Amino acid sequence: MKTYLVTGGAGFIGANFVKYMLKKYDDIKIIILDKLTYAGNLGTIKEELKDKRVEFVKGDIGNRELVENIFMQHNIDYVVNFAAESHVDRSIENPKIFLETNILGTQNLLDISKQHWIIGKDENGYPTYKEGKKFLQVSTDEVYGFLNREYPDGKLLIDNGQLTVDNGLKIEELKKVLEDREVMPKIFGEKFFTEETALNPRSPYATSKTAADMLTRAYSETYHMPINVTRCSNNYGPYHFPEKLIPLIIKNILEGKKLPVYGDGKQVRDWLYVEDHCKGIDMVINGGKLGEAYNIGGFNEEQNINIVKLTIDTIRKLIIDNGQLAIKEEYKNIVKCNLNDISYDLITYVQDRLGHDARYAIDPSKTVRELGFYPETPFNIGIEKTIKWYLNNQDWVNEVVSGDYQKYYEKMYSNKN
Ligand SMILES: NC(=O)c1ccc[n+]([C@@H]2O[C@H](COP(=O)([O-])OP(=O)(O)OC[C@H]3O[C@@H](n4cnc5c(N)ncnc54)[C@H](O)[C@@H]3O)[C@@H](O)[C@H]2O)c1
């Protein structure tokens, strides 16, 4: 049986990862360590907390004594570090907490893992480690900086069997990545981030994540510690805190509120359905070459403004009863505005974010080639699944926003013991 220490497991991706792993493997134990900041919610994992295979610890990844205790009590095989301050806008307001959690917190986890996994030294003086241990740092494509947007309206990635760009991508590999796509993805520029791209972070958030990414790889170089780093694109899907673009837009549309779009809305991001990300992380834990970084994501580029429009269109499609030309009975109590108000008129352009990067786009070919990963969920399918989930889980949204789930901790914790 393998024991995972999943930090940040009450947050968006961490919680989805816990769910994915419990479904996939019977014989595992998961210790979740989470500080339950505004972004962490025990309600997101309330079913999982009842599972005998799961233990929850409330606390800070930077707390040495607490993390030591976890390692003393459990034979931790894998550390999967999701815990982070993750919102770029908040990092622009207050960078310090980003450095404390994202850099020093990661360093604390690395240090304690190293200390507990070491068994001796090799002939060159490098530490040697117990078999089967690994530290996986969940990093981000934001470490790479930004890419140019040469094609403002996008171009098909493969057109008439030919690659639209000539930048070293291999068409056979691409076809493998895209094999299930009904709609050929568009690209908005010539270049993609590969694992070889020089790191060039541009916001305080990205800088703190880059430091953690490099520090993790430094532990591999300096101490030969068994690590991997994964760098993923923008995730979306169920349980996403409603301050991030897609859940925020859904919430505002249902309330008939304005939809704030930064600048001209033409910034391009590569979107990854959260379950595909979880699958990729599991593959890297099981098959990733020690010491290496892996890109997870790929070929789901979209402009922010199109995402907003697509979300409006999809919500209308899902909530309208066509026979009646009215809101379907089951959604009447969650739509707080008139049907006619749900239109592009809700879009309102606001001053651009400081240092807003033009385009991110990930090339995951290495992860496809070495581990068989490919992002299964095309954006048009994933966004509809996500919107349906939000329409059917408004209680979760309301409770998260009202902070009720923060209070949930005491109740759940006392239930467990
Ligand atoms: N969401 C994305 O699109 C995206 C993209 C690329 C990379 N990432 C990375 O993936 C990871 C998870 O992202 P997310 O979107 O789920 O974030 P999130 O903000 O939803 O969740 C973060 C979780 O970490 C916890 N946490 C924060 N500080 C902590 C601390 N000091 N100690 C213990 N727990 C703490 C929070 O309570 C929360 O549960 C992060 O490392 C983030 O940088 C996210």
Domains, in order of start, for the chain: 2-416 (3.40.50.720)
Which ligand 1 atom sits closest to the C-alpha of 101? 31
Q: Encode pLDDT of 48-60 as tens digits.
A: 999 999 999 999 9
Those residues whose C-beta lies under 8 Å from the C-beta of residue 152, and which sit 6 or more positions away, are: 188, 266
Question: Is the per-residue pLDDT at 27 higher than 80?
Answer: yes
Strand, helix or coil for residue 322: coil
The CA distance from 1 to 74, in Å, is 12
Q: Is 297 left (phi over 0), alpha (psi -120 to 50) or beta?
A: left
Q: What is the mean pLDDT of residues 81-93?
A: 92
Question: Is the per-residue pLDDT at 271 higher than 80?
Answer: yes
The CA distance from 391 to 250, in Å, is 9
Residue with tokens 């805190």: 241
Those residues whose C-beta lies under 8 Å from the C-beta of residue 194, and which sit 6 or more positions away, are: 295, 363, 365, 366
User: Using CA positions, which residue lies closest to atom 15 of ligand 1?
Assistant: 12
Is there a catalytic annotation at residue 301?
no
Q: Are 18 and 12 in contact (CB under 8 A)?
A: no
Q: Encode pLDDT of 214-232 as tens digits.
A: 999 999 999 999 999 999 9
Q: Would you state the pLDDT for residue 403?
A: 67
Which ligand 1 atom sits closest to the C-alpha of 16? 16
Q: What distance in angstroms lies between residue 37's CA and the mean position of ligand 1's atoms?
A: 10
Which of 142, 276, 301, 357 is an active site residue? 142
Q: What pLDDT band is residue 44 in, cutting at 50, 70 and 90?
A: very high
Is there a catalytic annotation at residue 47?
no
Q: Would you state the pLDDT for residue 49?
A: 97
Q: Which residue has the higher pLDDT, 157 or 71?
A: 71
Flag the least confident range among 116-120, 226-230, 329-333.
Answer: 329-333
Q: What pLDDT band is residue 408 in, cutting at 50, 70 and 90?
A: low
Q: Would you state the pLDDT for residue 276?
A: 96
Q: For ligand 1, is residue 35 a contact (CB within 6 Å)? A: yes
Question: Is the per-residue pLDDT at 417 higher than 70?
Answer: no
Which ligand 1 atom sits closest to the C-alpha of 272? 3
Question: Is the per-residue pLDDT at 357 higher than 90?
Answer: no
Q: What are the phi and psi torsion angles at 364 (to 5°)?
A: -95, 20
Which ligand 1 atom sits closest to the C-alpha of 236? 3
For residue 184, what are its two tokens?
């050929």
Q: HSE-up of 376 (CA within 13 Å, CB side)?
A: 9
Widest pairwise Cα distance in the chain: 78
Q: For ligand 1, is residue 12 a contact (CB within 6 Å)? A: yes
Q: Encode pLDDT of 121-135 as tens digits.
A: 999 999 999 999 999
Average pLDDT, the chain: 92
Flag the least confident range among 119-128, 167-176, 298-307.
Answer: 167-176
User: Using CA positions, which residue lies closest to atom 32 of ligand 1?
Assistant: 60
Pick the most confident of 9-13, 320-324, 355-359, 413-417: 9-13
Q: What pLDDT band is residue 34 in, cutting at 50, 70 and 90?
A: very high
Q: Would you state the pLDDT for residue 416?
A: 45
Q: What distance in angstroms lies between residue 83's CA and the mean position of ligand 1's atoms?
A: 5
Q: What distance in angstroms lies between residue 42's CA and the mean position of ligand 1's atoms?
A: 14
Q: For ligand 1, is residue 140 a contact (CB within 6 Å)? A: yes
Q: Would you state the pLDDT for residue 412?
A: 56
Q: What distance in angstroms lies between residue 372's CA and the mean position of ligand 1's atoms?
A: 26
User: Using CA positions, which residue lies closest to atom 13 of ligand 1?
Assistant: 13
Q: Encode pLDDT of 385-403 as tens digits.
A: 999 999 999 999 988 887 6
Rounded-to-10 torsion of CA 31, 32, 33, 37: -170
Q: Would you state the pLDDT for residue 168?
A: 75
Q: Are 273 and 237 in contact (CB under 8 A)?
A: yes
Q: What is the mean pLDDT of residues 75-86?
A: 97
Q: What are the phi and psi torsion angles at 164 (to 5°)?
A: -75, -30
Q: For ligand 1, is residue 83 a contact (CB within 6 Å)? A: yes
Q: Are 165 and 187 in contact (CB under 8 A)?
A: yes
Is there a catalytic annotation at residue 408?
no
Q: Which residue has the higher pLDDT, 161 or 69?
A: 69
